[in-house]
Amino acid sequence: MKKTKIFRGKKLIFLLILCIIVPSLNVRAQERVFPKDNDLVIVIDPGHGGTDTGTQGGRIQERFMNLITAQALVNRLNQYEGVTVYMTRFDNDTTLSLTERAVYAKSVDADFVFSIHYNACVLHDRFGIETYTSRISPYNAYGYQFGDLLMKKYESQYGIFPRGVKTRKGLRTEGDYYTIISANIYRDIPAVIIEHCFADGVVDAQHTMSDDQFRSYGETDADAIAEFFGLKSTVLGIDYSGYSDNLCYADPASFNDQTYEDRTNPENVSVSLVSIDPVSCSVTIHVEGSDSDGMMLYYALSTDGGWTWEPPEVWPSANALTGTYDSSFDLTIPFESGDRPSIVIKGYNRYDGYLKSNQITFVDRFNGQDMPLYRV
Ligand SMILES: [Zn+2]
């Protein structure tokens, strides 16, 4: 992979060429994102606030979770040297529009905006951390680099599942759907939304039990930001200054796959029968799945023909940061004597698009001894 410096433009000639072929907006960002003279300015944006409560599905309303995390983030980031940190809604619970937040970030000459959120979904069954970044180069590359680094920390420190760095296209524009991103990009400020985990889900419930956890995520965010910008803290005894070179090299084009928004469902999800154990009443099936312009991320099982579903599980070997997953796997499903299952699998991609498989339907009930009849 060809690597190009995007954060520190030492090659003047290269930059001059870029000035001609890409909009000046992008070139300014390349020069500013990694300040050379200790004037790094970070804006932390606790999402929602005031009349905008955010998701209500968690232990407390999202506007409060975001604030607790953001405050801990700011406290810790302030212990690093060479960075000035601002918050959009400070230590209170004001109602603030998304554009007002970006205007504020511009007024303090921000180099990067991090918007702090917790997630929720309609079925309350999803889990994991994800970040949203701009679809527009080079902002997508900045966002990808940061999100990748952040999610690896969350996976190793908390066991929170990485759902990947994502983008979302605006409804009527080629730009970004989320205003906190588009309004900042418009002002030449890279912005990332961090959806820490699902406040409303069973799996992530263990990660959203206490204020201490919300604070701890803020501190992890601060360390990720410090690592991303190669900062050092004498007080904390942390020195990321040696890390910065690695993180500041990237070819925005190489991130297209990861930040590509997959708007279609998986192409293939199918099941076939491997074996039946009539005595223990278990069935082993072979599951195949593919999504050529994305990846398989979760699967869910139904044993009543799709009327009810088990909570989604991680698709074997799915890694949302690399886009890799197993093309097939075997699954053994235990039943009880008297059951007459109808087995069907739902395979989900990274954007929660899904496809239902064919069905394996048992004609006879399991009785603990005879081989039941079935059809595929
Ligand atoms: Zn939110």
DSSP string, 71-118: HHHHHHHTTSSSEEEEESSTTS-----HHHHHHHHHHTT-SEEEEEEE
CATH 2.60.40.10, applies to 268-375: yes
Give the H or E element holding residue 322: none
Whole-prediction pTM value? 0.86
Q: Are the folds of 12-259 and 268-375 the same? A: no
Amino acid at 205: A
Distance 211 CA to ligand 1 centre (A): 17
194 Cα to the center of ligand 1, angstroms: 9
Residue 119 Cα to ligand 1 middle (Å): 6
Sequential pLDDT tens for the chain (376 residues) = 333 333 333 333 333 333 233 332 333 333 334 444 568 999 999 999 988 999 988 889 999 999 999 999 999 999 999 999 999 987 677 888 899 999 999 999 999 999 999 999 988 899 999 999 998 877 887 888 899 899 999 999 999 999 999 999 898 888 899 999 999 999 999 999 999 999 998 899 999 999 999 999 999 999 999 998 889 999 999 998 866 544 444 444 554 555 678 889 999 999 999 999 999 999 999 999 999 888 999 999 999 999 999 999 999 999 998 889 999 999 999 999 999 999 999 999 999 999 999 999 999 999 999 999 999 8
Helix, strand, coil percentages in the chain from 3-state DSSP, rounded to 5:
30, 25, 45
Sketch the domain layout of the chain as residue ranges: 12-259, 268-375
Q: Which residues sit opposite 343 in a β-bridge?
A: 360
User: If you measure from the C-alpha of residue 69 to the centroid of ligand 1, how many angstroms do you get, rounded to a whole number?
Assistant: 13
Torsion of CA 222, 226, 227, 230, to 10 degrees: 180
**Where do runs of H (alpha helix) occur along the chain?**
12-21, 24-32, 62-77, 98-107, 139-158, 179-186, 211-229, 244-247, 256-259
**Residue 62 CA to ligand 1 centre (angstroms):** 7
Q: Which CATH architecture has domain 12-259?
A: 3-Layer(aba) Sandwich (3.40)
- What contacts 168, CB < 8 A, 6 or more positions away? 132, 135, 176, 177, 178, 261
363 burial via Cβ count (<10 Å: 0-12, 13-18, 19+): exposed
Query: Residue 47 C-alpha to ligand 1 middle, in angstroms?
Result: 6
Under DSSP, the state recorded for 159 is: -
